[in-house]
Amino acid sequence: MGFENFGTVSFTAEAKVADFITYLEQGKVMATRCPKCGVSYFPPKADCPSCLSGEVEWFEVKGKGKLATYTIVNYGPSGFEDDAPYILALGEFEGGIQILARLSKDIAPNDIKAGMSLVVSSVKRPDGRIAYEFKKG
């Protein structure tokens, strides 16, 4: 399985990093790392341009991150109309990993603060589509 059911609207399915979706189905949000250079990638990459290795390894993004910035989107583009309003956020995690995702609907807009503690986890939507989102950490 590839990225065809990822997010609200997916625009392409095939990728060498499609294992990401398999892990996501198991509840894990994964990043990749090049074992030769030690560089970590999120979004995950299948290839390391620095050493030209295609032997990257998967590891789970664990632990607490913090909210770097966010926006409450009231006007959704075509395909996203029914989601609005939704909150997009950037979260910073250990090892210099930064992730763009939505904030969980459990977090009230008034409670959102820069620097607040977050965790990232997989979320299955009622229509069967899958994504990851930030919850309070």
Partner 1 sequence: MADVAIVSAGQSVFTRSCGESIRELAFEAFKEALEGLDITTGDIDASIICSAPEYDKQRSPAGLISEYLELTPKPSFYVETVCSSSSTGLRVAWSLVKSGLHKMVAVIGFQKMSELSSRDAAERMGRGADIIWESPFGLTMPAGYAMYAQAHMDKYGTTEEHLAKVRVKNSHYGATNPKATYRKELSLEDILNSEVITSPLKKFDCCANADGSSCIIVARGDVAKGITDKPIWIVGLGAATDTMTMAGRELLTGLKCAQEAARQAYKMARLKPQDIDVAEVHDCFTVSEILAYEDLGFAKPGEGVGLIEDKETYADGTIPVNVDGGLLSKGHPIGATGGSQIRTIVRQLRGEATEAQVKGAEIGLVHNIGGIGQYGNVTILRR
Binding site for partner 1 (CB under 8 A): 3, 6-12, 15, 42-43, 68-81, 83-84, 86, 88-90, 98-102, 114, 131
Which residue lies nearer to partner 1 by CB, 26 or 74? 74
Report in angstroms how near the CB of residue 92 gets to partner 1 at its nearest: 10
Report in angstroms how near the CB of residue 6 gets to partner 1 at its nearest: 5
Structure tokens belonging to residue 34: 């090049």
Which residue lies nearer to partner 1 by CB, 23 or 86? 86
Under DSSP, the state recorded for 77 is P
Measured CA to CA, the distance from residue 43 to residue 93 in angstroms comes to 13
Measured CA to CA, the distance from residue 52 to residue 55 in angstroms comes to 9
